[in-house]
Structure formats: C-alpha cells, structure tokens
A and B are shown apart, each in its own frame.
Chain A
Amino acid sequence: KAGVTQTPRYLIKTRGQQVTLSCSPISGHRSVSWYQQTPGQGLQFLFEYFSETQRNKGNFPGRFSGRQFSNSRSEMNVSTLELGDSALYLCASSLGSRAEKLFFGSGTQLSVL
C-alpha cells in the first residue's frame, strides 16, 4: 500500500508569490489534514478535510486555504507569501475518526525569500 505522498519536496518562492502544495493520501483514507512545522512555533494545525468538506480549521489567516477532491487528494494554497511562511508543511491522512492514527507524508519544505 502506497504511503502519503506530498509534492513537491522542496520549494523556493519570493515574497508576494503564491504557492500550491499537493497531498495524495493512502488509498481508502477520506480525511486529510495539514500542519505547519517551524522551529519557533512547532507543529500547528492548519485544516482538515473529510469527503471534500473542510471539517476543522486552525488559527491561520485567510491567505491559507485548501481543498479536497473526490479522490481524496488535497491541495493547500498560500497566497501573498510572507517570510514567516517558511516552514515544513506536513500532510496526514486517516480513515477519519479521532481514534485513528495519522499517516504522515514526508512534507514540503517551503522557503520564502
């Protein structure tokens, strides 16, 4: 069974640009959640999608958005990039229950210059 796949692995952007990150969950998983990891703030929840609907959202500005497709693949978009958006973005998938463990991808390392 293929794991969670995130693309691209690395990304370099400049301030003001926008970026789209992709996440393909494990087959059969309907929940995809996104996390931002930085040395200063640690792991912070961005949002979760379940069956194409946003089920939960963290405390991030509206520049951060996401969506989920009918095949459960998910994308997150960050518009008007700021230096502080430089981080490792992790995606995780699960069957959807809070009791279920999350399967994580290897992340996308975003650097904003």
Chain B
Amino acid sequence: AQTVTQSQPEMSVQEAETVTLSCTYDTSESDYYLFWYKQPPSRQMILVIRQEAYKQQNATENRFSVNFQKAAKSFSLKISDSQLGDAAMYFCAHPNEKLTFGTGTRLTIIP
C-alpha cells in the first residue's frame, strides 16, 4: 500500500523567515513523482512544486525548494522568506495508480 505521512499537523513561522514542512512516503517503485500542493482558504488546491525521483537535483520554484532523500523516502518542503500569502494547508502527495495525499500541515504566518 502506498502511504504518505506528514507528522506536523500545524506549523507557524515569522514573516520573512524560513520554514520546513516534513513528509515521508512509502513506495515500491523506483521511478516516481512527488508533489507538494497548497490549499488556501479558497479551498482550491494549487501545485507548489514537483520532484522526479530519478533526478538527483532537488526541485526549486522561486522561494520554494525541496529536500528529497530517496533512500530515506523523505520529501520535505522549504519555504524561504515566508509571506502572509503562504498561509495555507500544505499537502504532500505521491501518485501511483491514484494520487495519495498526506494528512496536511496547516501553516500560519506570523506578521
């Protein structure tokens, strides 16, 4: 069974600081993808970043980057220079036959 685990139900960070959200997953595949999605209060899920497992280089999208540790099956999201608009639920996800989501981390930005 494919599982995705997010061990931090809630996180908070001061505006302009850096925060890291954790995610671990389980898979029997050797080539796969991992995603971080953001769900703001509007409820619409938005892709933040995508990582391809066969690529050694960690994905980066502006202030968002990942720390992908394939052997440890760890896929954390780092948000640099946090902004008020980053406040949301963040979900880690792994697609196999279906897209499996973690339970989410609620991120609060403190002004």
Contacts and interface: CB of A to CB of B under 8 A. Distances in A.
B97 A56 contact: yes
Contacts of B20: none
Interface residues of A, number: 19
Interface of B: 32-33, 35, 37, 42-47, 50, 52, 91, 95-104
B42 to A, nearest CB: 6
A101 B35 contact: yes
Nearest to A104: B45
A8 interface: no
Contacts of A107: 43-44
A66 B97 CA distance: 18
Chain B CB within 10 Å — which of A33, A101, A106, A107 has the most? A101
Interface in A24-78: 33, 35, 42-43, 45, 48, 56, 58
